[in-house]
Structure 1
Amino acid sequence: MPASIWDHVLAHDLEVPTDRPLDELTTELTIMLGSADAHRRDETALRVLATWIRRGVYDDLLAGLGDGMVAGLAIGLGEVGTDTVFRRSCSALVLAVCLDRNLEVAELSPEKVLEWGDRLTGWFVREQDLRGWVPGKGRAHAIAHGADAVGALGRSPGLGVNELTVLLDVLADRILATTEQRLVHGEPDRLAVATLEILGRDLVPLSVLEPWVARIGASAGGHDETAIGFNAHACLRALHLHLTLGRRHPAVRADLVLALVDVLRDLNAAYFDAH
């Protein structure tokens, strides 16, 4: 489809063109999610799809659109350093918007949400391309976008304490995954926000959260010598920051802050020496 059509859409408040079938437009946008051109990918495809979803354009087609995004999570999975990461990462972000829209319109069955959740979490823990920024191509951000999608999934009312506990374990698995890539492009904050979205349901008890924090802390190490240790430490710090300074106040907030303080104090004992 000629680029001028999308230029026209961007210049006219992202209105849906009336001279093309919606399915044709959607196919074009979905392909553009994998573009190495940041303008086509982020400023056009992502922006248009997210806006149309929020405006209700896809309300009757939400399940099919989300299925397409779920399929995009598998494209090139396992590759590192290739452009396929853009399609996977952007698909996760669009899926998050679909899940949030469903909170308003309740178009999806609980089974469909769980199906998407299985596919999403399966991709998230297996993603190998952890680049935050790709020179000349812009944001890859698979971990940040995946965290956003997990957080959106956690907001879904059909998920109970067991499913939310699984999501927390998925976040921990992602944080502790074997890698040489340090998460330095805002991913720890996005993972912390996803955690708080899950805790905001006020269903997961402290008896689950304390060992969850301890598990991440055990891999953090005292000096962040490895990427895994760095990532674990950074995520615990981010969660502590968001709990103490943020606006999200889950019921377990006070006790969870204490648990985090204990772990972070041990990890940073050298800095708190009396001398």
Structure 2
Amino acid sequence: MQGGMDVPADRGLDEYTVELVEMLGHPNPRIREDLAYPLLTTWINRGVYDQLLSGLGDGIAPGLRYGLGHDGDVSVLRRSYSALMLAEIIGRDNNEHLMSSASVLDWGDRATAWYVREQDHRGWIPEQGWANAIAHGADLLATLARSRHFGRLELTVLLDVIADRVLTPTSYIWRHGEEDRLAYAVMTLLHRNALDPSIVEPWLARLGQGIKPPRTRGHLEAEWPPPAVRNTSSFLRALHLQLALGVQGRDDLRSDAELFAEQPAHRADLILAVLDQIRAEQPWLYRPTTRARPLG
């Protein structure tokens, strides 16, 4: 397929683009994943759409609302791959500085409105391939977190959206690394060094509150933990591991070398804050925080 990545000359680019965007929701993964997505991504990264990037994003963004609220049908494919394509478009702007703030902020609003309302958390679907809306949405949020158009206020909103997404009740337990992708989005945001602990630590406490078992004795009315609590717990552990080990940027994003060159500011404090939430989930299991003994 590499030899066929050039824009064909027999029809106009607009006509091909409309057709490929429609294919992003196709139930056949060979059409969606092996044809439409790689072709559009290659043309974006080659600069084919550089003068048309705003229009391309405006054409793809409505796909985030296609069938929104449905669960278990093919409409999730269009939503999920629209998110993935918007990440590619914004990533191109992050590299080349082609877009106005208005366009990127508008797409950010649409992305966050979709993400907290997405009901279909399926990863792999037999015969249809990857849906993976939660992971693809996390990738989009990570790309937005890199954007020069996103300042302290917008990054704070992204942080809250991630908490809303993780804590919202669902029947799905994440099984395909969704928590890792979301934690990486948070790490990308933290590497911007725009938010201090007075914002991040209460955010972590909100997540920790969501995983504490109910204070009751004897019979529980429902299974514990429910899927959303389990997902939140997995997310906090993933975030702790990424803070402890460190993460790296992507080779295809020029600014990542500088963005990820150093650990985030306040990293040590944030590691302890995450550990406090993890420890509080199972206080009978973990040793309490070690405190220095007073002298004398």
Q: 1:44 to 1:161 in 2, by over 3 A?
A: same
Aligned to 2:140: 149
Counterpart amino acid of residue 175 in structure 1? V
- Mapped partners of 1:18, 1:167: distance in 2: 41
Residue 63 (structure 1) aligned with residue 57 (structure 2)? no
Counterpart for residue 263 of structure 1: 277
Q: Deviations over 1:59-90 (max 9, x none)?
A: 01100111112111111111111101000000
Matches of residues 33-112 of structure 1 in structure 2 within 5 Å? Answer: 33-112=24-103
**Aligned structure 1 segments of 4 or more residues deviating by more than 6 angstroms:** none
SS at match of 1:207: helix
One-letter code of the match for 1:155? R
* Deviations 1:106-143, CA, capped at 9 Å, x for gaps: 22111111111111100011111111111111111111
Structure 2 CA distance for aligned equivalents of residues 55 and 267 of structure 1: 48
Gaps of 5+ in 1: 1-9
- The yes-or-no answer on 1:242 pairing with 2:242 is yes
Give percent identity, aligned residues only.
48
Matched-pair contact (CA < 8 Å) for 2:212–2:280: no
Q: 1:19, 1:95 → 2: CA distance?
A: 27
Aligned alpha-carbon RMSD (Å):
1.6
| Residue in 1 that maps onto 2:5 | 14
Name the SS for the 1:157 alignment partner.
Answer: coil
Whether 2:244 is the aligned partner of 1:253: answer: no
Q: How does 1:133-172 map to 2 (within 5 A)?
A: 133-172=124-163
* 1:200 Cα deviation from its structure 2 partner: 1.3
Write the distance in 1 (CA, Å) between the matches of 2:265 and 2:2: 45
Letter in 2 for 1:191: L
Match of residue 252 from structure 2? none
Is the CA contact (8 Å cut-off) linking 1:224 and 1:233 kept in structure 2?
Answer: no
Cα shift readout 1:3-62 (whole Å, capped 9, x = no counterpart): xxxxxxx25151221222111111111011001111111111111111111111110110
Please identify the structure whose Cα radius of gyration is greater: 2
SS in 2 for 1:95: helix
| TM, length-normalised to structure 1 | 0.92
Secondary structure in 1 matching 2:65: coil
Are positions 1:219 and 2:210 aligned together? yes
The one-letter amino acid of 2:269's match is: D
CA contact (8 A) 1:220 1:231 kept: no
User: Would the alpha carbon gap of residues 267 and 63 (structure 1) be closer, same or farther in structure 2, given more than 3 Å must change?
Assistant: same
With structure 2 as the length reference, what TM-score do the two structures score? Answer: 0.86
> Could you tell me which of 19, 32, 42 is aligned with 1:28?
19
SS in 1 for 2:148: coil
Q: Structure 2 CA distance, aligned partners of 1:11 and 1:158? A: 33
The reply to whether residue 179 of structure 1 matches residue 173 of structure 2 is: no
**Residue 123 of structure 1 is aligned with which of 114, 128, 153?**
114
